[in-house]
């Protein structure tokens, strides 16, 4: 009798444990936890990747801006030496002054982002410098003016895009300031192009009216 009672008690206890386990509340929590972990794990890498991509974009912009600024300074110096036109010489002098200043403002930001200062001009800019060094007089003026219109249109586009896209306040401020300066340069060189009757793919007059 005692043995049967003990067996019966053990059976009932086991049955109650089985019956209580679905309604105990522990299983639903275990089912929700992986979903919560998955949603959390899914959001964190995305944010991390976005921040990394933005930082790389800022680095690329700053590096290109420094490199392009150095090219504008060298080309401006060349314009002062090679041109026979006072307006082209004055524009070259302004390029040296303004782009030197922009470069100095950009260098601390480059250090913060871990961007090294350029060691020289890009291959494209080296080719342009070499081309202009072989010209003089009106031929130099025409080639220099065309190059400046083209470069400043592209630079203005790049600086505007960076000012709109970046989340870095220092980079944004530098891009906004650069946009204003480059916009002034573009307007100036477009007016010079018109006064020298220099063709810029038929876009000079239309652009200068904007």
Per-residue pLDDT tens digits for 102-118 = 999 999 999 999 999 99
In this prediction, residue 28 carries a pLDDT of 47
Residue 204, pLDDT above cutoff 60: no
46-88 pLDDT tens trace = 667 878 888 999 999 999 999 999 999 999 999 999 999 999 9
C-alpha count within 13 angstroms, C-beta hemisphere, residue 177: 15
Mean pLDDT, the chain, whole residue set: 83
Whole-angstrom distance, CA of residue 73 vs CA of residue 94: 9
Under a CB-based contact definition with an 8 Å cutoff, are residues 66 and 117 in contact? Answer: yes
Residue 89, pLDDT above cutoff 70: yes
Residue 25, pLDDT above cutoff 60: no
Q: Which residue has the higher pLDDT, 187 or 14?
A: 187
157-194 pLDDT tens trace = 999 999 999 999 999 999 999 999 999 999 999 999 99
Whole-angstrom distance, CA of residue 46 vs CA of residue 58: 18
Q: Is the pTM of this model over 0.75?
A: no
Q: Which residue has the higher pLDDT, 123 or 200?
A: 123
Under a CB-based contact definition with an 8 Å cutoff, are residues 166 and 172 in contact? Answer: yes
Q: Which residue has the higher pLDDT, 28 or 189?
A: 189
In this prediction, residue 138 carries a pLDDT of 95
- Rounded to whole angstroms, the maximal C-alpha distance in the chain is 124
In the CATH hierarchy, which top-level class contains the domain 52-197?
mainly alpha
How is 178-210 classified by DSSP, letter by letter? HHHHHHHHHHHHHHHHHHTT--STT-HHHHHT-
Residues written for the chain? 210
Residue 27, pLDDT above cutoff 90: no
In this prediction, residue 206 carries a pLDDT of 37
The answer for residues whose C-beta is within 8 angstroms of residue 60's C-beta and 6 or more apart is none
Whole-angstrom distance, CA of residue 152 vs CA of residue 158: 10
In this prediction, residue 46 carries a pLDDT of 65
């Amino acid at each position: 009798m005692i043995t049967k009672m003990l067996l019966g008690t053990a059976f009932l206890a086991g049955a109650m444990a089985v019956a209580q386990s679905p309604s105990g509340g522990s299983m639903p929590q275990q089912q929700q936890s992986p979903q919560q972990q998955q949603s959390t794990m899914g959001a964190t890498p995305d944010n991390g990747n976005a921040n990394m991509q933005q930082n790389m974009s800022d680095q690329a912009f700053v590096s290109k801006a420094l490199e392009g600024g150095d090219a504008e300074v060298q080309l401006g110096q060349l314009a002062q030496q090679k041109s026979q036109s006072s307006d082209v010489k004055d524009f070259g002098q302004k390029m040296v002054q303004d782009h030197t200043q922009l470069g100095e403002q950009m260098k601390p930001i480059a250090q913060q982002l871990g961007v090294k200062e350029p060691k020289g001009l890009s291959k494209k800019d080296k080719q342009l410098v070499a081309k202009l060094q072989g010209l003089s007089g009106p031929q130099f003026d025409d080639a220099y003016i065309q190059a400046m219109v083209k470069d400043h249109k592209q630079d203005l586009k790049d600086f505007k895009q960076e000012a709109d896209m970046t989340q870095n306040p220092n980079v944004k401020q530098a891009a906004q300031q650069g946009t204003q300066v480059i916009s002034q340069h573009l307007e100036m060189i477009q007016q010079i192009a018109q006064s020298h009757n220099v063709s810029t793919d038929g876009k000079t007059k239309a652009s200068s009216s904007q």
